[in-house]
Amino acid sequence: MNLLKALFGGAEESPEEKRKNDDAKRFDMFKFDGVKAARMGNFDYAVRCYEEALKIKDDLEVRDYLSQAFVSSDKLPEAICQLKILAAAEPENINVWIQIARVAYMAEDYDAMNDACAAAMELDSKNPHVHYLYAQAYIAAGNNINAVAMLTKAIALKPDMADACLLRGKTLLAMGDVGGASDDADLLIKEYPESEDVLMFNARVASAQGKSDEAIQLYGRVTEVNPFCADAYRERGRLKYGKGDMAGASEDMQKVMEITPGAVADISGEFSAEGVEHKVRKAYSNMNPLGL
């Protein structure tokens, strides 16, 4: 038998070759089972498959898949750990650093986010997404001035970057620069007149400018786009209350309580004609007019 195999090129596998072939098959099985599980939304099982595959062979693609599965499982520190391994293996890959920054932001790990942004900035100082992420890190650190500077650079590099324009406007509004926020609001509403976020921002700017009627109308457009936006009802109700529209304020606060039961801890029961002004006043007295 061995002679025939030798004559016709069918030599038996050595134990080492058999082990390698078996490992390769098992690796592929775990890898593709993990991909299949992730596509079906079974991320815990996907993580187990990827980890078993990595025990057989270290593979950057599998580590990337594993990081994504960890993010989907809300295991953000574990995802960052995998991404850092990828970054060490491919330090020139800016996309890995950007992903680290994004996941670190989700995890509120701002030290890791800053480090990732710095590494990405060294690779490409003209990448608008890096400037945007750096701005988010600055905002988290309470450094709004540098955040606005970073967002302005991002917009200069990519004028149609709506997220950067919106975040800059919100930051300016939080800083009390209503004029600057208004400029961004005007730009955004022209391009995205049906966006819930843009409409909400414009409503808050109008409110900060003292344009209550305009703000109320804008909040109404928000609720048309999203009838379950509790913040829109809450903030519109505050403006109605300020205008003396107790019925309108009460109606909006009831809507808030329907959408988010228990959101107004100091109010209980149905609103009635008796004592409605007192109850609505309590609901709105401590509310930030900018929704912040």
**For the chain, percent of residues with pLDDT exceeding 70:** 85
- Ramachandran angles phi, psi of 8, nearest 5°: -105, 20
Topology (CATH) of 126-192: 1.25.40
Q: For the residues 55-81, what does the mean pLDDT come to?
A: 97
- Sorted by where each begins, the domain ranges of the chain are 126-192, 193-292
pLDDT of residue 23: 87
**Residue 14 confidence class, pLDDT cut points 50, 70, 90:** confident
**Residue 265 confidence class, pLDDT cut points 50, 70, 90:** very low
**Residue 44 confidence class, pLDDT cut points 50, 70, 90:** very high
- pLDDT higher than threshold 70 for residue 168: yes
Q: Which CATH architecture has domain 193-292?
A: Alpha Horseshoe (1.25)
- pLDDT higher than threshold 60 for residue 289: no
Domain 126-192 identical in fold to domain 193-292: yes
Closest Cα to residue 201, out of 105, 292, 102, 106? 292
Alpha-carbon distance 143 to 51, whole Å?
Answer: 39
**Residue 281 confidence class, pLDDT cut points 50, 70, 90:** low
pLDDT of residue 277: 54
Alpha-carbon distance 230 to 220, whole Å?
Answer: 12
- Contact status, residue 269 vs residue 236, Cβ threshold 8 Å: no
pLDDT of residue 19: 84
The tens digit of pLDDT for each residue in 177-191 reads: 999 999 999 999 999
The tens digit of pLDDT for each residue in 88-98 reads: 999 999 999 99
- pLDDT higher than threshold 50 for residue 269: no
Handedness of CA 216, 222, 223, 228 (dihedral sign): negative
- Contact status, residue 203 vs residue 235, Cβ threshold 8 Å: yes
Q: For the residues 113-129, what does the mean pLDDT come to?
A: 96
pLDDT of residue 67: 97
pLDDT of residue 161: 97
Helix (H), strand (E), coil (C) string for the chain: CHHHHHHCCCCCCCHHHHHHHHHHHHHHHHHHHHHHHHHCCCHHHHHHHHHHHHHHCCCHHHHHHHHHHHHHCCCHHHHHHHHHHHHHHCCCCHHHHHHHHHHHHHHCCHHHHHHHHHHHHHHCCCCHHHHHHHHHHHHHCCCHHHHHHHHHHHHHHCCCCHHHHHHHHHHHHHHCCHHHHHHHHHHHHHHCCCCHHHHHHHHHHHHHCCCHHHHHHHHHHHHHHCCCCHHHHHHHHHHHHHCCCHHHHHHHHHHHHHHCCCCCCCCCCCCCCCCHHHHHHHHHCCCCCCCC
- pLDDT higher than threshold 90 for residue 154: yes
